[in-house]
Amino acid sequence: MASPWRVLWLQVLVGALIAALTGWFSGQSRLAASVAWGVVAVVIPAVVFVRALSRQMRMRQAGSALAGLFVWELVKIVLTVVLLLAAPKVVADLSWLALVAGFVVTMKVYWLAMALGWMQRKSKPTIF
């Protein structure tokens, strides 16, 4: 199974690439900044979640670990919403379309990770 940190780094790489390409092709830094903020709205909450999840995995009580998972997923969602609501204050002349494009592309990096084989489970051969 893939390390969540590895998938996160792939998200950062793809996000930076699409922000740079958007700025280069459009010639508008406002579009690149909007795409970049969409990337930030995915990556920052994911970092918080993965860090918390790695701590939760060390817990011995399954019930506590599961409750923690739900709490941290809620924290991730709230943090994402806060970052999206802050976008007009942070990015001058925000383009919501570019922000959403950056957000969606970054979220879909999980599919790229699966295509690269990073998220496949390595099954052990069974003997019958």
The fraction of the chain above a pLDDT of 90, given in percent, is: 61
Q: With 90 as the cut, is the pLDDT of residue 98 above it? A: yes
Q: With 60 as the cut, is the pLDDT of residue 48 above it? A: yes
How would you classify residue 122: left for phi > 0, otherwise alpha for psi between -120 and 50, otherwise beta?
Answer: beta
pLDDT band at 125 (very low <50, low <70, confident <90, very high): low
Q: What is the pLDDT of residues 15-43, one digit of tens each?
A: 999 999 999 999 999 999 999 999 999 99
Alpha-carbon span 14 to 88, nearest angstrom: 23
Q: So what's the pLDDT on residue 120?
A: 53
- By the 8 A CB rule, do 14 and 109 touch? yes
Alpha-carbon span 59 to 81, nearest angstrom: 28
Q: With 70 as the cut, is the pLDDT of residue 128 above it? A: no
- By the 8 A CB rule, do 29 and 93 touch? no
Q: With 70 as the cut, is the pLDDT of residue 123 above it? A: no
Average pLDDT, the chain: 87
Q: So what's the pLDDT on residue 63?
A: 74
Confidence (pTM)? 0.81
DSSP conformational letter for 61: -
